[in-house]
Structure 1
Amino acid sequence: MSLDLESLKVQGVKINYFFICKRKLWLFDKGITMEQNNDRVLAGKLIHEDSYSRATNKEVLVDNLLQLDIIDGEYVREVKISSRMQKADQMQLYYYLYYLKKMGIEKKGKLNYVKERRQEELLLTEDKENEVESVLLDIKSLTEEEKPPKVTKLSYCSKCAYYEFCFSQEEE
């Protein structure tokens, strides 16, 4: 499948949210952001800033859209605290690799899990490119909906920055 990336490109965080919570993705897309006041998000930012302090190409902005954590030679590195949301993390990095490839830049990926002190290498295959394209189409469809997806209670909802927003009407 080959599609017009220009009409479908999104921030990497939207790819991540697509796999974590479609409602969170829809709300974020509409400008409803809760992260700025969330302690877990702030702690993550601090860990992110303190990690890999010797890396020279940190926080690389591509097309005023993608925020690449680190470019290190042949690798794009994405720094995450833990691997709890591994599929979301992987797909975000595959999207970065896909996007760069469309720009004529071939890179490999590495997920760096800081708390676990481990890395995972990712290579962009044709299957992963097709998966990224499918996700981009699904995100476009989802964000064009008039209403957000219904609340679905997941095991990690209580730690989410959007928790109170989603569950404020719920009776105990």
Structure 2
Amino acid sequence: MSFDFESFKTQGVKVNYYYVCKRKLWLFSKGITMEHLSDRVLRGKVLHETAYSRQKNRDVEIDELIKLDIVDGDFVREIKLSSKMSNSHRMQILYYLYYLHMLGIKKKGVINYVKEKKQDFVELNDEDKKEIEKALVEIKAICNMEKPPPLEKKPICKKCSYYEFCFVKEHSYKETK
């Protein structure tokens, strides 16, 4: 049975958020964006604009849906500050490779971790394709939910741009005690 990619394709950032936090994914999908308030996000944007600035094929947009940081020959490159959330980065670039594959374009991926001066090379395989398809189905289901998924406390929460949004009730409760 073939996968109906047209019905499930989405933005790369949503794939990233799916692997970071499903609640963040839902909030973002509803237009609730907090990234503009985050110093970490700002550092990432500045890094994105300055790193590899001599590369010719930067910010390649496809279908007004995904934006590839750099297309360099056989490779799609993603620029990231650090590898702290390497799984979500890996899945995001695998999604881009899957998307291109569905368009009949075969590429490999490289995640450039600028702060650490390291690279992770990524190639799409059949197992990855199944994982991406499963994630796309779940992403669509999460985005269609009436209410956000329940809060999951994770070590990364305090650095998340949505932290205050998610934990406002908890902070208010502590302050009234």
Under TM normalisation by the shorter chain, which class is it? over 0.9
Question: Structure 1 residue 135 and structure 2 residue 135: aligned?
Answer: yes
Q: Residue type matched to 2:42 in 1?
A: L
Amino-acid identity (%): 54
Question: Structure 1 residue 43 and structure 2 residue 38: aligned?
Answer: no
Residue by residue over 1:86-141, the C-alpha shift from the partner in whole angstroms, topping out at 9 and shown as x without a partner, is 11000000000000011011000001101010111111101101110010011111
State the match for 2:54 in structure 1.
Answer: 54
State the match for 1:20 in structure 2.
Answer: 20
Q: Residue type matched to 2:79 in 1?
A: V
Q: CA deviation at 1:144?
A: 1.4
Unaligned runs of 5+ in 1: none
Q: CA deviation at 1:2?
A: 2.5
Q: CA deviation at 1:58?
A: 0.5
Residue by residue over 1:24-51, the C-alpha shift from the partner in whole angstroms, topping out at 9 and shown as x without a partner, is 0000001100001211101110011110
State the match for 2:65 in structure 1.
Answer: 65
State the match for 2:31 in structure 1.
Answer: 31
SS at the partner of 1:168?
helix
State the match for 2:144 in structure 1.
Answer: 144
Q: Residue type matched to 1:140 in 2?
A: K
* Residues in 2 aligned to 1:112 and 1:149: alpha-carbon distance in whole angstroms: 31
* Residues in 1 aligned to 2:155 and 2:124: alpha-carbon distance in whole angstroms: 30
Q: CA deviation at 1:53?
A: 1.1
* Residues in 2 aligned to 1:100 and 1:153: alpha-carbon distance in whole angstroms: 35
Q: What stretches of structure 1 move > 4 A for 4+ residues in a row?
A: none
| Number of equivalences | 172
State the match for 2:10 in structure 1.
Answer: 10
* TM-score of the two chains, using structure 1 as the length reference: 0.98
* TM-score of the two chains, using structure 2 as the length reference: 0.95
Q: CA deviation at 1:156?
A: 1.1
SS at the partner of 1:169?
helix
State the match for 1:81 in structure 2.
Answer: 81
SS at the partner of 1:150?
coil
SS at the partner of 2:64?
coil
State the match for 1:94 in structure 2.
Answer: 94
Question: Structure 1 residue 156 and structure 2 residue 117: aligned?
Answer: no
Q: Residue type matched to 1:111 in 2?
A: I
Supply the RMSD in Å over aligned alpha carbons: 0.9
* Residues in 2 aligned to 1:47 and 1:130: alpha-carbon distance in whole angstroms: 32
SS at the partner of 2:61?
strand
State the match for 1:122 in structure 2.
Answer: 122
* Residues in 1 aligned to 2:13 and 2:141: alpha-carbon distance in whole angstroms: 17
